[in-house]
């Protein structure tokens, strides 16, 4: 018996493909949106089965983008949002797709009387305060917010990405707050991961020649003679993030709206290179991460009982999935 129908966006993405596969495995029916029929076809070919519907939404920012897809859905998992720094226009290529895509989704949810919960993929980028620097000894939690403003967001691509995630998550919370007490308003759970590593899922169609951003950075680290310094040395495995999204649909376990940060620990690019070359990371290669903040994921650990996948396993499984030789 199905546990309900989940409308999931970004199902062809690095994270979205893992979420979709777990939803199916754990008894949900999914309706997955794609920008093209080619991506939809690959997804169906890999996952198959009667528990999958697919639909094409070529532009998630278009008015009414999700109005047809939302019909009959019990839950929404919204993961679609750009994660790339290869852009020409910060507002057009990063901020607007994230914010307007979220706006179109909550508009669709507002038109439905059936949706019980929205799970939104946000980011640690919406949590970290870049004005405070490395903050050694500080542990970020769900109470923290990136103070980014529209003017500063346009200064560089990194600020633009942080702004896109911050503004999109705030748009979702504004929707929940503005509709409180107005009939049946669904609850909202946001998941805020830092850098995501781990294996690529076959349904995503990611290869060494067509990589998602975090896998591209990981591969660059293991192939570079001298790995770069690590700007944000906190990580989590894609499989843990996917499971957090699925668990967040459990209204019996999480009865109201919540915000969660997820994090398995710290990393450095030098440590990742060592894992590839020798199977483990030394204290020396990890030590630069001590000069930076950490993330306290106690809230989600207590609620969901997550046991985090280690950096070593995450990196080795990522390299194996991309058919990259390493010490395994």
pLDDT number for residue 156: 87
Q: Is the pLDDT higher at 308 or at 100?
A: 308
Q: Please answer whether residues 13 and 80 qualify as being in contact, where contact means their C-beta atoms are separated by less than 8 angstroms.
A: yes
Q: Into which CATH architecture does domain 5-321 fall?
A: 3-Layer(aba) Sandwich (3.40)
d(CA 20, CA 215): 19
Sign (positive or negative) of CA dihedral 36, 240, 246, 79: negative
pLDDT number for residue 1: 66
Owner of token pair 């290529």: 93
Q: Kindly indicate the confidence band of residue 218, based on its pLDDT and cuts at 50, 70 and 90.
A: very high
pLDDT number for residue 50: 81
Q: Kindly indicate the confidence band of residue 324, based on its pLDDT and cuts at 50, 70 and 90.
A: confident
pLDDT number for residue 158: 86
d(CA 11, CA 136): 36
Q: Kindly indicate the confidence band of residue 36, based on its pLDDT and cuts at 50, 70 and 90.
A: confident
Q: Please answer whether residues 274 and 282 qualify as being in contact, where contact means their C-beta atoms are separated by less than 8 angstroms.
A: yes
Q: Please answer whether residues 97 and 84 qualify as being in contact, where contact means their C-beta atoms are separated by less than 8 angstroms.
A: no
Q: Please answer whether residues 280 and 312 qualify as being in contact, where contact means their C-beta atoms are separated by less than 8 angstroms.
A: yes
DSSP state of 126: G
Query: Is 258 a residue whose pLDDT tops 70?
Result: yes
Query: Is 181 a residue whose pLDDT tops 70?
Result: no
Q: Kindly indicate the confidence band of residue 185, based on its pLDDT and cuts at 50, 70 and 90.
A: confident
Q: What is the DSSP string of 12-52?
A: TSHHHHHHHHHHHHTT-EEEEEESSHHHHHHHHHHH-STTE
Share of the chain above pLDDT 90, in %: 72
Across all residues in the chain, what is the average pLDDT? 92
Q: What are all long-range contacts of 89-97, with beta carbons under 8 Å and residues at least 24 apart?
A: 90/153, 90/154, 90/156, 90/157, 90/159, 90/160, 91/153, 91/154, 91/160, 94/157, 94/160, 94/161, 94/163, 94/164, 95/153, 95/160, 95/163, 95/164, 95/167, 96/61, 97/60, 97/61, 97/164
- The distance in angstroms from the start CA to the end CA of the chain is 40
Q: Kindly indicate the confidence band of residue 251, based on its pLDDT and cuts at 50, 70 and 90.
A: very high
Which pLDDT tens digit goes with each residue over 82-139?
A: 556 566 788 888 888 888 889 999 999 999 889 999 999 999 999 999 999 999 999 9
Q: Which is nearest to 248 in space by CA: 117, 122, 123, 126?
A: 117
Which pLDDT tens digit goes with each residue over 140-151?
A: 999 999 999 988
Q: Please answer whether residues 192 and 126 qualify as being in contact, where contact means their C-beta atoms are separated by less than 8 angstroms.
A: yes
Tokens of 305: 């009982």
| Domains of the chain by residue range | 5-321
d(CA 282, CA 287): 9
Q: Please answer whether residues 136 and 157 qualify as being in contact, where contact means their C-beta atoms are separated by less than 8 angstroms.
A: no
DSSP state of 67: T
């Amino acid at each position: 018996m199905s546990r309900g129908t989940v409308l999931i966006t970004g199902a062809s993405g690095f994270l979205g493909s893992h979420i979709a596969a777990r939803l199916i495995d754990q008894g949900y029916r999914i309706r997955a949106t794609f920008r093209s029929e080619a991506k939809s076809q690959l997804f169906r070919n890999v996952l198959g089965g009667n528990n999958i519907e697919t639909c094409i939404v070529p532009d998630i920012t278009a008015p009414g983008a999700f109005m047809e897809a939302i019909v009959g859905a019990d839950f929404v998992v919204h993961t679609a949002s750009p994660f790339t720094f290869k852009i020409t226009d910060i507002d057009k290529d990063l901020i607007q797709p994230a914010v307007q895509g979220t706006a179109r989704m909550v508009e669709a949810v507002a038109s439905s009387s059936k949706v019980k919960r929205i799970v939104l993929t946000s980011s640690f980028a919406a949590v970290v305060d870049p004005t405070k620097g490395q903050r050694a000894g500080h542990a970020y939690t769900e109470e923290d917010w990136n103070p980014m403003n529209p003017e500063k967001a346009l200064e560089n691509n990194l600020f633009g990405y942080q702004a896109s995630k911050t503004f999109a998550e705030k748009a979702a919370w504004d929707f929940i707050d503005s509709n409180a007490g107005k009939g049946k308003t669904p609850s909202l759970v946001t998941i805020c991961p830092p850098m995501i590593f781990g294996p690529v899922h076959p349904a995503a169609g990611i290869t060494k020649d067509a990589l998602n951003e975090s896998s591209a950075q990981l591969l660059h680290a293991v192939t570079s003679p001298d790995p770069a310094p690590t700007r944000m040395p906190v990580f989590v495995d894609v499989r843990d993030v996917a499971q957090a999204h699925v668990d967040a649909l459990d209204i019996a376990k999480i009865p109201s709206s919540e915000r969660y940060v997820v994090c398995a620990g710290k990393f450095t690019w030098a440590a990742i290179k060592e894992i590839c070359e020798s199977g483990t990371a030394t204290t020396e290669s990890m030590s630069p991460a001590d000069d930076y903040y950490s993330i306290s994921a106690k809230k989600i650990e207590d609620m969901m009982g997550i046991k985090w996948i280690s950096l070593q396993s995450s990196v080795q499984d990522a390299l194996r999935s991309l058919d990259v030789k390493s010490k395994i």
